[in-house]
C-alpha cells in the first residue's frame, strides 16, 4: 500500500512539474482530446474529434488573432477571432465563422483548453491541451 501511495504521489508531482506554462506566449499549438455534440432536441453524444471534423492540431496566434490548421494536416483552414482577453490566468478567445460562434478558454498555467462551437440548433464542446508553438 505504501508503494502505491508513493507511486501515485510521484505521478501527481511529475504531472504538476511538467504542466505547460503559457504565460506570455502568443503562438501555441493545440490538440483536441475529447468532444461532445449536443442537438436542440436535448440529445448529446460523445464523439472523437475527427468524427466531428475537428483538426488534430491547430495553431493559435493571439497577436494576429488567427486559428489555423497545421501545414502537415493538408486542410489549409484558417479563421480570425474578434476577441482575445487574458484575465486571472485564463486566455479567452471568441469569434464567428461560417454561421458558427466559437469560444476558447485556455488555462495559462496548465495549457488545458475548453472550446465551445455553436450554430442554430447544435453545439460542440471540445476539451484538449495547448503548448508553446515556438519550442
- Specify the pLDDT at position 19: 52
| 85-103: b (≥16 Cβ within 10 Å) or e | eeeeeebebebeeeeeebe
Residue 34: which pLDDT band, with cuts at 50, 70 and 90?
A: very high
Alpha carbons 123 and 110: distance in angstroms, whole number: 25
How far, in Å, are 56, 70, 122, 123 from residue 74 at the CA level?
A: 11, 7, 27, 26
CATH 2.40.128 holds for 20-132: yes
Locate the domains of the chain by residue range: 20-132
Report whether pLDDT(13) > 70. no
* Residue in 131, 132, 129, 118 with CA at minimum distance from that of residue 44: 118
The per-residue pLDDT for range 94-133, each reduced to its tens digit, is 999 999 999 999 999 999 999 999 999 999 999 999 999 9
**Mean per-residue pLDDT of the chain:** 87
Q: Which three cell numbers stand for residue 60?
A: 493559435
- Specify the pLDDT at position 10: 38
* Residue in 70, 67, 66 with CA at minimum distance from that of residue 56: 70
Sign (positive or negative) of CA dihedral 67, 124, 19, 85: positive
Amino acid at each position: 500500500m505504501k508503494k502505491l501511495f508513493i507511486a501515485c504521489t510521484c505521478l501527481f508531482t511529475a504531472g504538476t512539474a511538467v504542466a505547460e506554462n503559457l504565460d506570455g506566449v502568443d503562438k501555441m499549438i493545440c490538440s483536441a482530446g475529447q468532444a461532445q455534440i449536443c442537438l436542440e432536441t436535448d440529445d448529446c453524444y460523445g464523439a472523437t474529434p475527427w468524427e466531428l471534423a475537428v483538426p488534430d492540431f491547430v495553431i493559435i496566434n493571439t497577436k494576429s488573432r488567427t486559428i489555423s490548421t497545421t501545414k502537415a494536416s493538408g486542410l489549409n483552414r484558417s479563421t480570425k477571432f474578434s476577441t482575445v482577453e487574458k484575465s486571472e490566468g485564463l486566455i479567452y478567445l471568441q469569434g464567428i465563422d461560417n454561421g458558427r460562434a466559437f469560444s476558447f478558454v485556455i488555462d495559462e498555467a496548465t495549457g488545458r483548453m475548453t472550446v465551445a462551437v455553436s450554430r442554430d440548433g447544435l453545439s460542440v464542446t471540445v476539451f484538449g491541451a495547448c503548448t508553446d508553438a515556438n519550442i
